[in-house]
Amino acid sequence: MNKRITLRDKTFELYIPEKKIVDAISKMAVQISDDMRDKNPLFVGILNGAFMFVSELMSKMPPTCELTFAAYSSYHGTKSAGIVEELLPIRGKKHDRPVILLEDIIDTGLTMQYVTGRLRDEGIKDVRLATMLLKPGSLKCDLKPDYVGMEIDDDFIVGFGLDYDGLGRTSRDIYKIVEQPL
């Protein structure tokens, strides 16, 4: 575990070690399993950032669970553009069953508000949202995830699937940006 990493022009310091992340995801898996007992949910991993979260969570779920992926984009560099673009639509039978969206991080909440609203407009009655990380201080809409691994401050972070311009995703720890003095 490195205390600091440098990605392109930014330096990041250790923020959340892997063990704390995995423990939070394990607790979430128990909650979801209890809530979904005898239901047939469709799990939807939101790419690209959620791939490590999805892998960790789904490894703790029964092998009978169905998983698919979707991709949406609203980020460029370290800032959200505020416009949601669908890159890969949700595949799989989603009607007449709960749909659980698996997101790496919710900061403004606008992307997941868009996706959950769109699913409800399509007639999905039970749409749930699970996020590894939530930045409550950054929310710009009334979005309440059903399952939250950890709440964090409004820092730009990388690791465990999260990236800075494509880098940093593969770290098992999470790092936050170090503001450079001017």
| 147-to-35, 36, 106, 152, 180 alpha-carbon distances in Å | 11, 12, 12, 14, 34
Among 7, 156, 4, residue whose Cα is nearest residue 75: 156
Helical spans, DSSP H, in the chain: 18-35, 51-58, 110-121
For the stretch 124-159, pLDDT in tens is: 999 999 999 999 999 999 999 999 999 999 999 999
Q: What is the mean pLDDT of residues 6-17?
A: 96
Residue 60, Cβ density class (10 Å: 0-12 exposed, 13-18 middle, ≥19 buried)? middle
Q: Which residues are catalytic?
A: 107
Tokens read off for 17: 């070690």
pLDDT tier at 177, thresholds 50, 70, 90: very high
Does pTM top 0.85 for this prediction? yes
Residue 85 pLDDT:
82
Query: What residue type is assigned to position 79 of the chain?
Result: K
Digit-coded pLDDT (tens) for 71-118:
987 755 555 556 788 899 898 888 899 999 999 999 989 999 999 999
